[in-house]
Structure 1
Amino acid sequence: MLSPENDLDHPLVGRFTDFIAGAGFPCVGAKAALNRAGMRFVVARDLGSAWDDLRIIPALLDLARSYRADPQLFQSLAVIFASGAPDDEAAFERLLWTRLNSLTAKDEWLGQQPDRRVAHDPEDPHFAMSFGGEAFFVVGLHPKASRPARRFAYPALVFNLHDQFEQLRAQGRYDRLRETIIDRDVKLAGSPNPMLAPHGSVSAARQYSGRAVEPGWTCPFSGRSKRDAA
């Protein structure tokens, strides 16, 4: 297994951090992660290729391990892809789930057990991805995104630790943070995000790509093995 990398000095990381730090960017959680040096980075080659999966997985496992050892808020991993920008939102959605399926297969191959605190069926309202035994919520960004907050010049996947949301709920801070982000997003986009839903009401998988999916949409995640997900 390769050692985890953090491509802080890569030019694409500079462009990404400028995007997050911009005055109009709505997600104050991402801004906090950036300001607290809690955001890690991997710059990969192509969203449509598995070439860099074995660089991404060590970074995810290291984030999971370090978070368990010191569960500080506002930590995440941003994977920026230098190529593979999609032609439209549907194409990005397909590529996103292809990458997540591939990374999940490698997590299983390495013997990592899933986070038992969440569901692994993408139709379940309590679904989350799982890497290194920790649950994650994934945010996709790309140049063809309809929502301005997701419209970065390169494809990117941001892996946010699910337990951080639970920490915020336990502290009574989650609802206020969510409302702030929604208000800022409406100011940026001019309308509410149609994919936002109260926690636990529908699967968060519907939000990953940023596309406004249809009511009967089926998530293209093949899931973990039944043995691991049980």
Structure 2
Amino acid sequence: MNSLRALYPAAEAIARRPVATLLLLAAALTPLLVASTGVRPDNSLASWFVAGDPALERYEAFLGEYGSDEAILVGFDVPEGAHSPEGIALQRRIAARLGEVDGVARVMAGGELPPPLARGLVAADGRAAAVVAWMDVRDDIGDVRGRIIEDVRKDVGAELDPLGRTAHFAGNGVLYEGLNQQTMRDTGVFLSLALVVMVVLLRIGLGSMRAVAFALGAPLLASMAAIGVLGLSGRPFTVVGSALPTLVLVIALPDAIHVLL
């Protein structure tokens, strides 16, 4: 109780100067709210380690020696045979296109390898094959990964669509990009559902939409500010971190209601 009483003078000072308080609050929150709009999801392998972790250092050493482990594996049917002249020509055309994509370091076509070495890239019956494209090692890979994958999809489609064939995509790069997209979708879905439930329950409990707006205003700002802090700290926004906005909102809401009541 003594600690709470110590806050009374500060609360009275804030109540006497509402305009100044709002200006100071806006000045403090604006950088965080701006930073929150620039947060991008990152679910790559390195984002799950802390700086200095021996496992991360070995991983980075591997990348420095052997290049990126982010690969795009493109699989497709080759009815004429992966090792037939027509099948090899098709794979070479696709590989040549992918080699021209900005951000692709190297490409390998399974059908161009001798049968013993092509295992895993050519089906056992030879009627399906895969082309693998490795991305460049670059600091901005999280920003350009989606564009690289989309360019690869377009170039592969340019060769396979006229033949009526469908490509299937896999690999680390595709997985990371899929996780990033799912992270943003999960954040939007969970936050939206939480808001809908809160608005309905608060409307029933508080009796007016004005009270609901007051109750949710501060928690929503706190939720966005938390994302801003995450962005300014340089920490990645992972699929686990996607729960942060909803978590802050749920924790802050009872405090806001307590103040109102």
Q: Please indicate, yes or no, whether the TM-score normalized by the shorter chain is above 0.5.
A: no
Greater gyration radius = 2
Higher-strand-fraction structure: 1
Greater relative contact order structure (CA < 8 Å, 6+ sep): 2
Larger relative helix fraction: 2
| TM-score in terms of structure 1 length | 0.24
